[in-house]
Chains A and B, each alone.
Chain A
Amino acid sequence: MVDRVDSAGEWTQSSRFPDEVLERVLALIDSHKDRSSVSLVCKDWYNAERWSRRHVFIGNCYSVSPEIVAARFPRIRSVTLKGKPRFSDFNLVPEDWGADVQPWLSAFSTAYPFLEELRLKRMAVSDESLEFLATKFHGFKALSLLSCDGFSTDGLKAIATHCKKLTELDIQENGIDDLGGHWLSCFPESLTSLEILNFASLNSEVSFDALEKLVARCKSLRVLKVNRNISLDQLQKLLSHCPQLTELGTGTFMQELISGPVAEFKNMFSNCRNLITLSGLWDATPFYLPVIYPACASLTFLNLSYATLRSDELANLLSHCKTLRRLWLLDTVGDKGLEAVGSCCPLLEELRVFPADPFDQEILLGVTESGFVSVSRGCPKLRYVLYFCRQMTNAAVATIARNCPDFTHFRLCIMNPGQPDYLTKEPMDEAFGAIVKTCTKLQRLAISGLLTDRTFEYIGKYAKNLETLSVAFAGSSDLGMEYVLQGCQKLRKLEIRDCPFGNAALLSGLTKYESMRSLWMSACNVTMNACRVLAKERPRLNVEVMRDEEGGDDSQAHKVYVYRTVAGPRRDAPPFVLTL
């Protein structure tokens, strides 16, 4: 080991390894958090890391510019890019806000001509961009689009037509203009490399003939999620070609006509020995559901969130699914269905219960606190829950926390804003207090119901590992937000809507926001002046205010989006976005 003194007069040790060896070693590190740590060790390691990195994850597309990324990482093959604030999923962000993927593609076409994978979430994607992607990147293999908008099925045509080495086409819930299913017929006969195909969220019918041929010739296909138009007997034909599937999304799970003898479906899944994920199951009824029983024994993820099952139907199904780790349901299964979950699925780690009829104002159906408690009793390994309900009690949540202390993600949505504990009529403060006190590993929390500043006091005091917090219709004063900003050291994303937090609260986080990815505040009590102060004090933050469409008081800042950036203010901001 040779010691040297560098230019700053510090002792350093030069690396024993040639750079190439270090790069090879570092190439084995996948986690981008680890890679960040590696890059901070010393200059040699920083360089080795940047040359060895193949995948870059950009959590906020405006936090950095394409040029900066390209300059730092010369050998990227795979990019994950996220754009709009999460509340854009719920129509809180106007159209044309930004997050256009094209500037990235343009930069990448020169910097990474060998780009293979692109995963986009909440980005604005046009058909022209998809065509650009398909034609400029000759080795392109994998495209995943989630919650994006601005494109149509014509863009998919371009991908299908030109990407000769395509292994993955994963189209999830997007704002896509569905002009028809012809895109699927654009896959050439020569394309045999497909491993993942997901078009479950597209409504138009595709050519079954083209699909069947595609599935038959892609011997490596392991994930297939078809859309609702694919019938049961069509599905059966498809499965006969790809028994090696590990993930399947079915089409409609019902046949209307009783038109004479129909091929039996009960053997449909008997050859699918590798199936671990099952979804789709649109319109599933007890008549056809037993068809999937043979596949249930090996399932680890079952997505029933589009099947309006009743409690008894679910119970029958779950009795076959003992190894489930992840389960998504509709609240039509009711508390009784959740009891079945508790008794059948002891290995369950993730549960999501979606409302079948979210705008039903009356507390008629769905699930209650009792269903959640039943699950917690039977499934002590639960770590991720998303639960939509219309009533809850503090006592129930306390019980749940005791039963499941390992929660990392706790998202509770009591659908009526500001609703108290329905038995005691008290705020739901103690519920979330119990969660943060007991579940020390908590990373993500979404709160709801009637909440005072006390909830935030608890969160600030106990939720030391919290990274993401979503707040709506909660809190009594600025103190609430201040507690969180002061107490939650690991906080990265804070999104707030319709809360009485004002300027003092906003400015209390002055020194904190640079350690976070972003802050969203809408319909709170923040004024333009406070935003200007923040912007002035923290030049490395972008403080963006969206004008209220309906006019109104210009001094109120209706929607505020604050994020750290090394790229400076946005150059593509639309007129309604003011960067201060």
Chain B
Amino acid sequence: MSVPLEHDYIGLSDASSLERSTESSNINVFTLKATELSLGLPGFGKNSEENAKFGPVVKNYMSGAKRGFSDVNFNGSGPSGKWALNGGSEADLCRGVNCVFEKNQTSSSDVKPVEEEKKGPVKAQVVGWPPIRSFRKNTMATNLPKSGDVAEANLGSGECLYVKVSMDGAPYLRKIDLKIYRNYAELSTALEKMFSCFTLGQCTSNGIKGRDGLTESKLKDLLHGSECVLTYEDKDGDWMLVGDVPWEMFIDSCKRLRITKGSEAIGLAPRSTAKCKNRN
């Protein structure tokens, strides 16, 4: 048995592990995309098709992890510069860049995207521009865009909170940033996507038809389905069941996550082994 490869936090991994996961076929295309080589901010992988049409090619860098980009800065914009890259292998970086160039046919500029981004210091905001009423401005400011494809223009929401996620029987662990999720529902969705390539057939809730009829009790079923239990290790080193405490409290105390399966899931009734539907 091969040594489980731990993904580094940029989401770069060996090609071989990608191949292993392709056996799960089509529905895992999106999962593959999540592990695809690319650079950029977290939670953007889902948006890569949308971004493909954007002019400045650099937008397509938006899949993969956020952390670890602090060493090298583009256009000297300091630690808050989005385009800071760390010293990941050059080959991997180029791979990401090439993927992106191929995807983006609409951009006419072959100027290196990096340079296009080089606008110098952030421009001073013009009074009253763009023309948006104060109420909306204030509301959107406090409504910090969170997970999914909504970018954070500045990483002002604080540090990222990367925790390892292990699943029993999976060949390697993953790491996720808890800060990008707003609630348990989103975490569950993300984990499901991330681990669906590992015959997660057991880990599903009975009778989910699309999203109709989903209730919180069923969500709990999902997280703690008959064959799967999601647990976390808290600051004291104890293993706790996910979902008991408010979300904020959870992310404050969670150090790592574990999806337990099979016989270790004691006390829960067996369910049908419907294939875990991709939530996309």
Contacts and interface: CB of A to CB of B under 8 A. Distances in A.
B271 interface: no
Contacts of B215: 261-262, 264-266
Interface of B is mostly: loop
A90 B143 CA distance: 20
A255 interface: yes
A82 B95 CA distance: 58
Interface residues of A, number: 66
A267 to B, nearest CB: 11
B182 A358 contact: no
Interface string A197-238: 000010000000000000000000000000000000000000
Contacts of A357: 140, 145, 150-151, 153
Nearest to A358: B130
B31 to A, nearest CB: 15
A9 interface: no
Interface in B168-206: 182-186, 189
Nearest to A334: B50
A73 interface: no
Contact of A355 (B130, B133, B148, B183): B130
A357 B136 CA distance: 10
A17 interface: no
A306 B143 contact: yes
Interface string A408-427: 00000101010000110000
A332 B125 contact: no
A161 B128 CA distance: 37
A256 B246 contact: yes
A150 B240 CA distance: 52
A287 interface: yes
Interface string A237-276: 0000000000000000011111111101110000000000
A391 interface: yes
Interface in A466-490: 470, 472
B243 A258 contact: yes
A358 B137 contact: yes
A175 B137 CA distance: 13
Contact of A258 (B129, B137, B182, B216): B216
A354 B47 contact: no
A90 B131 contact: yes
B216 A262 contact: yes
Contacts of B59: 363-365
B82 interface: yes
Q: Which of B126, B150, B151 has the most CB of A within 10 A?
A: B150
Contact of A201 (B123, B135, B149, B214): B135
A308 B135 CA distance: 16
Given A173-B135, A312-B280, A415-B130, A356 B183 contact: no
Given A254-B183, A336-B50, A361 B217 contact: no
A89 interface: yes
Interface string B41-70: 000001101100111100100100000000
A388 B130 contact: yes
Contact of A89 (B54, B133, B186, B243): B133
A20 interface: no
A310 B44 CA distance: 11
A238 B46 CA distance: 36
Contact of B149 (A258, A310, A358, A422): A310
Contacts of A359: 125, 153
A286 B137 contact: no
B72 interface: no
Nearest to B152: A357
A112 to B, nearest CB: 31
Given A92-B127, A362-B82, A173 B133 contact: yes
A361 B122 contact: yes
Interface in A304-332: 305-306, 308, 310-312, 316, 332
B183 A285 contact: yes
Contact of A334 (B126, B129, B149, B186): B149
A150 B143 CA distance: 25
Contact of A293 (B46, B212, B216): B212
B132 interface: yes
9 contacts: A91-B128, A258-B184, A283-B143, A289-B211, A334-B50, A357-B140, A359-B153, A362-B117, A365-B151
Top 5 nearest A-B pairs (CB, nearest first) are A90-B128, A173-B135, A360-B153, A334-B50, A287-B185
